[in-house]
Structure 1
Amino acid sequence: MNKVTQFFWWCSGIHQATLAKYPAEHNKYVGIGATIFFTGLFAALSGGYALYFVFSGAAFSVVYALLFGLLWGLAIFNMDRYIVSSINKNASGFRQFLQATPRILLAVLIGIVIARPLELKVFDKEIREQLRTTYLDRQRAHIDTLNKAFESKYAVELVKVAELKTERDSLEATLKSDRIKLKMETFGEKTVETSGIVGYGPYAKQRQAELDKQEQYLDTLRTRIGQQESYLQQRKQFEGLLDQQLLTGTSLDSAVNVAGFADRNAALGDLKYNPDGTRNESNYWSIAFIMLLFVFFECLPVFVKLMSARDAYDITLHDQQTVDIHRSGKDRDAEIAIVDGVYDTKVQRGLEKQKARLWEDQTL
């Protein structure tokens, strides 16, 4: 326990030899140091998880994630340790607040950065479902865009095919009606358009000849339609429309598994809103509270240091720093005095040498 206590003291950035003299303050700085340590630990997990998706699919993605997570956690730990240890408790409350304001803003930013990857892990199942919907919608929109571009590019050909099909359908309906009339003419059914004579007479033969011509023209229409559709199918193959298929089943799951950090982050943002654009209150506040929790956790060491009263450790540390500054000033003055004395001695010796040379010159 003594080693654990000393480790958390070191995490809080205090002077351990001075704090050891005041047992009443030990637990407070153990708590501050533990908060700083676990903040760095969460930062390491968060950074490593985020980078795992960046290098997802690479050969050494796990190694990269571990190394980056360790470096990120150490950086956040060192920054938090400096933020807390640099707050001067011997200043006034307002001055302490001004001194801590930029550090609080930095802590808020760090908390947001730490929280995001962990939010992605907490809502992993919901994000996967959202990614499936997003990928399918995106692919449908892409296919629709390609189809619209194709229809615009080959508008003349498509209109021609539509006209031929309309003519074919009309001719098929006419042929069906004429066959019925031919049957009625053959069986001698009297109507406005039939003679009422039984047998295959002149009127029946005339109707049969007209039917044969119409059927030949229908075959011609079908051939032309087939040629046009074959041409358009070739153009679709050339434009790449036939290669576009909606992801389903295993292919969709594979795309979701290799989704990058940006796609997952966007999916998490989409979870806050319903398909109609209204806010999903449940998801919105769940995500917001998780982020606020980490922001508060990151700011907690600074708040604890600000709210704590000036204790015996702070007074002793301030006195010790004052003594060190005074002693450093005296040592500097002493060094300056020594340097000045040496300089004055050298100048005096130089003058004496000059006088001796002048005396020798006059004597000669």
Structure 2
Amino acid sequence: MNSISRFFWFCSGAHISTLEKHPTEHNKYLGIGATIFFTGLFAALSGGYAMYFVFKGDAAAVLFAVFFGLIWGLAIFNMDRYIVASINKSASTNKQILQATPRILLAIMIGLVISRPLELKIFDKEIKERLKVSYLNNQRSKIDTLNASFGNKYKIEIGKLNEAKAERDSLSNAIKEDRQKLNFEIFGNKTLETSGVMGYGPYAKRKEAELKQREQNLDTLTADVRALEKFVDGRKQFDGLMTEKLYTGKQLDSLSNIAGFADRNWALGQLSFNTDGTRDVNTSLAVTFIGLLFIFFECLPVFVKLMSDRGPYDHSIKNLEAVQVYASDRDKDYEIAVMDGIQETRIETEIERRKRQLLHPSQEE
């Protein structure tokens, strides 16, 4: 437990030899250090997953993920450690808040960066479903755009084809009607346009000759329609319309599985909205709360350091820093004094007096 405590003290950025002299401060800095450590751990997991996703399918994907995860986690850990350690508890409350403000903003940014890859993993199933809908809509829109462009490009040819089809269909229907009237005439069915006398008479022969001529015309018109259709289909094949089809379920699954980071990130943002454009409150709150949780977790060490009272450890650190500043000034004063020819014993006496006055001002008085 002593080793674990010292490790977390190191994570908190505390001066361990000084902290050991103040048992009442041990738990506070152990908690701060543990929070910083686990923030770095989450950052490593987040960065590792993001890198694994980028190189997914590559043989070295796991190696890249582990390497980048360690680098990213250590970077975030070091940054958090610096943020907490740089808050000076000896300063006034307003000054501490002023010192912490840019660090809190930086912590918020770090929290957002850490939370995004983990949110992508948490909502993986919902993201894939939203991507499938998006890909299907995009493919449908692409096909509609190609068809509209093709229609504008070959407007004359398509117009001729449609006219020929309409004329063919009209002629085919008319031939069917005339064929039925001819049958009525031959078999003696009485109508407004038939005589009602059974037999193959002059009227029937004339109607049959007309039908044969019209059937020849229909054959010629059908051949023209086929030629136009062949031309239009050839143009569609050349322009790529014949190869563009709506995705099948299997194709959509494959596309969603290999979707890139940008597509998945976009889909995560779209989860807050339904397909009809209305806001999905439940999903939006879930995504928001997860992001806020990581932001709060990242800012927690700073808040703990700000909210905690100035303890004996902080006073000891202040005195230690004062001694170090004094030692630096002493070396400088000693050099100046030697240059001025002042005796070494007088210099040492004056230095010791100033040291006692700095560390124990009440005794000196």
Q: 1:35 to 1:172 in 2, by over 3 A?
A: same
Give the aligned partner of residue 203 of structure 2. 203
> 1:334 aligned to 2:334?
yes
Q: How many residues align?
A: 341
C-alpha distance after superposition, 1:210-235 (max 9, x if no partner): 10011111111111111111111111
Q: Percent identity?
A: 61
Equivalent residue number for residue 348 of structure 2: none
Unaligned runs of 5+ in 1: 342-364
Equivalent-residue separation in structure 1 for 2:267 and 2:301 (angstroms): 33
Q: What is the match of residue 232 of structure 1?
A: 232
Provide the residue aligned with 1:85 in structure 2: 85
Paired residue secondary structure (2:242): helix
- Work out whether 1:212 is the aligned partner of 2:215: no
Query: What residue in structure 1 maps to residue 174 of structure 2?
Result: 174
Listed one character per residue, the Cα deviations across residues 283-303 of structure 1 (whole Å, up to 9, x for unaligned) are 000000000000000000000
2:320 matches 1:320:
yes
Q: Deviations over 1:219-259 (max 9, x none)?
A: 11111111111111111111111222322233322211111
Deviation digits for residues 119-143 of structure 1 (CA, Å, limit 9, x no counterpart): 1111111111111111111111111
Once the 2 structures are TM-superposed, how far is the Cα of residue 169 of structure 1 from its aligned partner?
1.0
Aligned to 1:277: 277
Call closer, same or farther: CA 1:339–1:232 in 2, change over 3 Å.
farther
Measure the CA separation in 2 of the matches of 1:337 and 1:164: 113
Shift, 1:277, TM fit = 0.9
Q: What is the CA–CA distance in structure 2 between the aligned matches of 1:149 and 1:54, rounded to whole Å?
A: 36
- Structure 1 match to 2:160: 160
Q: Which residue of 2 aligns with 1:106?
A: 106
Q: Report the Cα offset of residue 57 of structure 1.
A: 2.6
Displacement of 1:81 = 0.1
Distance 1:336 1:191 in 2: 137
User: What residue identity is the alignment partner of 1:131?
Assistant: L
What is the CA RMSD across the aligned residues, in angstroms?
1.3
Query: Per-residue displacement from partner, 1:69-121 (whole Å, max 9, x unpaired)?
Result: 11111100000000000000000111100000000000001101111111111
* 1:192 paired residue number: 192
Contact 1:56 1:260 in 2 (8 A): no
C-alpha distance in 2, partners of 1:227/1:60? 56
Unaligned runs of 5+ in 2: 342-365
- The residue number in structure 2 matching 1:351 is none
Amino acid at match of 2:170: S
Q: TM-score, normalised by structure 1?
A: 0.91
* Deviation digits for residues 160-192 of structure 1 (CA, Å, limit 9, x no counterpart): 111111111111111111011111111233333
C-alpha separation between the residues in 1 aligned to 2:339 and 2:174? Answer: 122
Say if 2:47 is the partner of 1:52. Answer: no
Whole-Å separation in 1 of the counterparts to 2:152 and 2:140? 18
- Quick one: distance in 1 between partners of 2:282 and 2:46? 24
